[in-house]
Amino acid sequence: MNSPIPTSLALPGLLVALAVLAGCAAPSKVAAPAPAPVQTAAVTPVAAAPAPAPAPAATPAATAQSSVSTVDLASRGVAPRATTAGAPSAAPAAAVAALAAPMQRIVYFDFDSFAIRDDFKELIEGHARVLARDTGKRMVVEGHTDERGGREYNLALGQKRAEAVVRSLVLLGVGERQLEAVSFGEERPAAQGNDESAWSRNRRAELKDR
């Protein structure tokens, strides 16, 4: 027969057993790992592209390249320069400069001569082109001399100078009915004086519209 456990010994053992069981039943707390910090990449702002500058408007000086029209060039015997499609027409610089100033109308002569000098042949050719293109145009050529020599002699010399210019124009294609030659001799000097400076300006033939 088993002998009973004394109460003084059974109670402490029971308490110990309960304490052990309570320790085993309590959930163990495990510290959770701290979350890793999220690193965000730095965003560099992108500058907006500048808007294209508007094209400058065409100025009147750029659009009006020359005040000389093609008709003016043709009337004076200057052919306009050929241009490619889409390119602005441009007259030769020499032609524009010539048309900017009035066409010269005086042919000067050497002393006691009615021969056309080489330096005035281009002037006569220019007038010939104008007259040949416009057959309705008329001109009178006035012959003049300096004061040296007799009156009758100078009238004859002035006539020869006027006729020399007319003859040159006719040879270049101008109709004879478009021209007239007259002489004033020494009666209408262009310059006053008794020296070569004045005389050289008086030995002349003037081309005038009629």
Domain assignment of residue 151, yes or no: yes
Q: How many whole angstroms separate alpha carbon 153 and alpha carbon 80?
A: 46
The CATH number covering residue 112 comes to 3.30.1330.60
Is residue 56 in some structural domain?
Answer: no
62 occurs within a structural domain: no
- Structure confidence by residue, pLDDT tens digits, 49-68: 555 565 555 544 444 444 44
**Which carries the bigger pLDDT value, residue 3 or residue 147?**
147
User: Does residue 116 fall inside a structural domain?
Assistant: yes
Partner residues linked to 206 by β-bridges:
106, 142
Q: For residue 137, is it within any domain?
A: yes
Domain that holds residue 177: 104-209
Longest dimension (CA), the chain: 195
Task: Say what percent of the chain tops pLDDT 90.
Answer: 50
Q: Which two tokens stand for residue 65?
A: 């390249």
Report the domain count for the chain: 1
List the structure tokens of 191.
């310059």
pLDDT band at 100 (very low <50, low <70, confident <90, very high): very low
pLDDT of residue 9: 52
